[in-house]
Each structure stands twice: as C-alpha cells, then as structure tokens.
Amino acid sequence: MTLTLYGIPNCDTVKKARTWLTDHGHEFAFHDFKKHGLDAVVVRGWLAHTDWDVLVNRKGTTWRKLDDATRAAVLDQDSALALMLAQPSVIKRPVLAGAGVLQVGFTAGRYAALFEAAAAAPA
C-alpha cells in the first residue's frame, strides 16, 4: 500500500503519526504542505472521501487567527477548498492518504484498526 502522510513536520500530532507508522513498519512518503504546497486535485480527492468540515480544523490556531469575515465565508465544499489551498495550516493534521485510505487526524487506535482492516481485506 503506497501511503502519503500530509502535514507539517513541527506539528506534535504529525510527529506522533510518523513515529507510529515507522514503529509499525509501514512505509510512507511525507508531504510537508507548508513547504511543498497542496494541489487542488489532491484536496478534491480527499473531499471525495470525507466532508469538508472534517478537514477544516476549527479548533486550531490558524482558524482562530482568521478574521470573522473569512471564517463566516466558509459555508460549503468550494469555499472550504479555497481556504485550505490558501491556508494549508487550517487543515486538520495529519492526513494519511493512499490506495483507498483516507484518515484525518491521528490516534494510535484508529491507525491500528485501519491497518488491521487493510491486512484482512482480500487482495
């Protein structure tokens, strides 16, 4: 399974996800979206598998620093997409994607369940 972990390297949750994946022998590519940006096609792919309000982190610092008008303008998938492309740090981190997998955020239990389900699926 080819996986990409999207996030920023100094995020504690991203660090935990990277450590978990490495410790459990899962190969992955890391995509620093602050350094390398995000492509609209990639984010649209995520949006095909999860709701925009799951991806937009309304509890994070980036969201709280946005002015009221910008926050109020995020009403649907298109406006959320525009915001995520303009301000990638507003995305809930990390995003683990690849081969039918999309996991937003990290907990060890969810990652373990995800990989157990993938291992049990017929090839």
pLDDT, one tens digit for every residue, the chain (123 residues): 689 999 999 999 999 999 999 999 999 999 999 899 999 999 999 999 999 999 999 999 999 999 999 999 999 999 999 999 999 999 999 999 997 789 999 999 999 999 888 776 665
CATH of the domain at 67: 3.40.30.10
- Count the domains in the chain: 1
pLDDT tens digits along 61-76: 999 999 999 999 999 9
Q: Which of 11, 85, 114, 118 is catalytic?
A: 11
Q: For residue 119, what pLDDT is reported?
A: 72
Residue 97 to residues 9, 60, 69, 70, Cα–Cα distance (Å): 17, 21, 31, 28
Q: Residue 113 and residue 115: Cα distance in Å, rounded?
A: 6
pLDDT tens digits along 53-62: 999 999 999 9
User: Structural domain of residue 106, as residue ranges?
Assistant: 4-120
Which pairing describes strands 95-98 and 4-7: parallel, antiparallel, or unpaired?
antiparallel
Q: For residue 121, what pLDDT is reported?
A: 67
Q: For residue 59, what pLDDT is reported?
A: 94
94 is catalytic: no
